C-alpha cells in the first residue's frame, strides 16, 4: 500500500495524465451524453440555494445534479491529493521563469501558487483585493461571457470540433500571455511588491 501511495504522490508524466484527462470526455458522453465542464456548477448551486424567482436560475437544476457531484469529487480529490498524496519536494520551476518571478518579488517556489501572494495573511489586504476579489470577478465574468470555462472549451469543445471553443481557447491563451507579460508587473507594483 505504501508503494502505491508513493507512486501516486509523484508527479505523473504527461503521457499518463493527459490520456486520463482526455478519456473523461468520451466517458461522460457515453455514460449519459454529458459535457465536461465545471463553470456551470456555480449556476446549479445558485439555482438550488437562491429562493428568488430570477429567470436565469429558474430551471430544473436537479437534472444537472450529476455536475455538482462531479465538482464535489474534484474538491474531494484535491483535498486527498494535498493532505495524503502531497509531494514533499519543491516544485521544479525553469530557471528563466524563476528569474522573471524573482524580478516581480516572488521568491518562494514550494507550491503551485506563489505564497507571497496567495496566503491567509493577504486575504483582507490590498493584495487580496486585487488578486482574490478582482481576479475572481474577472475569471467569473470571462467564464460567463465565453459561455464556459477553459476546461469546458479546451477539453470538451475542441474534442467535439466546435469552432467557438477553438476561438475561445485561442483567446484564453492570448489573454493569459497578455496578463502575464503586460499587466502582471503593474499589478504586482500596485499590490506592493
Q: What is the pLDDT of residue 110?
A: 63
Q: Read off φ and ψ for residue 91, nearest 5 degrees.
A: -65, 140
- pTM: predicted TM-score of the whole model, two decimal places: 0.67
Q: Residue 174 CA to chain centroid, in angstroms?
A: 17
C-alpha cell at 36: 465536461
65 contacts 44 by C-beta, under 8 angstroms: yes
Q: How far apart are CA 149 and CA 37, in angstroms?
A: 7
Q: How far apart are CA 131 and CA 143, in angstroms?
A: 17
37 contacts 149 by C-beta, under 8 angstroms: yes
Residue 59, helix vs strand vs coil: coil
User: Residue 172, Cβ neighbours under 10 Å: how many?
Assistant: 16
C-alpha cell at 16: 499518463
In tens digits, the chain (193 residues) has pLDDT values of 677 777 777 777 889 888 888 888 888 888 888 877 787 888 888 888 877 788 888 888 888 888 888 889 989 988 888 787 776 666 677 888 888 878 877 777 666 677 777 778 878 888 778 878 888 888 888 887 887 888 788 888 888 888 988 998 999 899 888 988 888 888 777 777 6
Q: How far apart are CA 140 and CA 39, in angstroms?
A: 8
The structural domains of the chain, with segments of one domain joined by +, span 1-89, 90-193
Amino acid at each position: 500500500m505504501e508503494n502505491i501511495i508513493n507512486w501516486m504522490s509523484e508527479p505523473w508524466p504527461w503521457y499518463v495524465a493527459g490520456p486520463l484527462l482526455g478519456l473523461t470526455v468520451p466517458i461522460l458522453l457515453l455514460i449519459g451524453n454529458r459535457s465536461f465542464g465545471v463553470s456551470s456548477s456555480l449556476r446549479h448551486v445558485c439555482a438550488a440555494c437562491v429562493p428568488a424567482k430570477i429567470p436565469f436560475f429558474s430551471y430544473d437544476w436537479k437534472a444537472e445534479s450529476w455536475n455538482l457531484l462531479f465538482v464535489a469529487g474534484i474538491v474531494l480529490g484535491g483535498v486527498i491529493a494535498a493532505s495524503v498524496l502531497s509531494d514533499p519536494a519543491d516544485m521544479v520551476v525553469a530557471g528563466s521563469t524563476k528569474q522573471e518571478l524573482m524580478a516581480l518579488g516572488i521568491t518562494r517556489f514550494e507550491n503551485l501558487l506563489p505564497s507571497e501572494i496567495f496566503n491567509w495573511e493577504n486575504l483582507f489586504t490590498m493584495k487580496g483585493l486585487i488578486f482574490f476579489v478582482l481576479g475572481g470577478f474577472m475569471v467569473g465574468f470571462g467564464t460567463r461571457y465565453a459561455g464556459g470555462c477553459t476546461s469546458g472549451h479546451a477539453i470538451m469543445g475542441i474534442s467535439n470540433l466546435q469552432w467557438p471553443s477553438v476561438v475561445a481557447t485561442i483567446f484564453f491563451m492570448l489573454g493569459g500571455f497578455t496578463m502575464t507579460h503586460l499587466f502582471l508587473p503593474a499589478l504586482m507594483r500596485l499590490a506592493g511588491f
